[in-house]
Amino acid sequence: MREQLPIPALEWLSSGSIVIEKPTSVLSTFKPGTVNVVRFTGPHELYRAAGWDAKKVLASAYGSWWADAAVLASIGRQIVQFEGWLPKNLLRKAWPVQYRGAAALCEDWNDMREMFKLELPADQELVGLAGLSAPQPRKSSMDSSLRKTPMLKGGGEQVYFKRTATLNSVNPLWVFPTQLW
pLDDT tens figures, 102-133: 999 999 998 998 999 999 999 999 999 999 99
pLDDT for residue 167: 93
- Quote the CA–CA distance of 21 and 43 in Å, as a whole number: 31
**Which residues, at least 6 apart from 133, have a Cβ–Cβ distance to it below 8 Å?**
29, 30, 31, 102, 103, 104, 154, 155, 156, 157, 158
**Which residues, at least 6 apart from 64, have a Cβ–Cβ distance to it below 8 Å?**
160, 161, 162, 163
- Supply angle C-alpha 71, 74, 76, rounded to 5: 115
pLDDT for residue 95: 86
- Return mean pLDDT, the chain: 94
pLDDT tens, residue by residue, 56-68: 998 889 999 999 9
pLDDT tens, residue by residue, 141-154: 999 999 999 999 99
Number of residues written out for the chain? 181
Sign of CA dihedral 140, 176, 66, 164: negative
